[in-house]
Amino acid sequence: MCNLEIFFEELQPFNINRDIIESVINKIILNELKEGGSISVIFCHDDYLLDINKQYLNHNYFTDIITFDYTENEIIGGDLFISVDRLKENAKKYDTEFIIELYRVVFHGILHLLGYNDKTNDEKVIMKEKENHYLKEVDFSLF
> pLDDT tens digits, residue range 82-134?
999 999 999 999 999 999 999 999 999 999 999 999 999 999 999 999 999 99
Domains by residue range for the chain, with CATH: 3-142 (3.40.390.30)
User: pLDDT band for position 76 (50/70/90)?
Assistant: very high
Say if residue 142's pLDDT is above 90: no
- 66 phi and psi angles, rounded to 5 deg: -125, 130
Which residues lie below 8 Å from residue 73, measured CB to CB, with a gap of 6+? none
Determine the Cα–Cα distance for residues 55 and 107; give it in Å rounded to an integer: 24
Determine the Cα–Cα distance for residues 90 and 94; give it in Å rounded to an integer: 6
Asked if 21 and 4 count as a contact pair (C-beta separation under 8 A), the reply is yes
pLDDT average, residue stretch 40-62? 96
Give the mean pLDDT of the chain.
Answer: 96
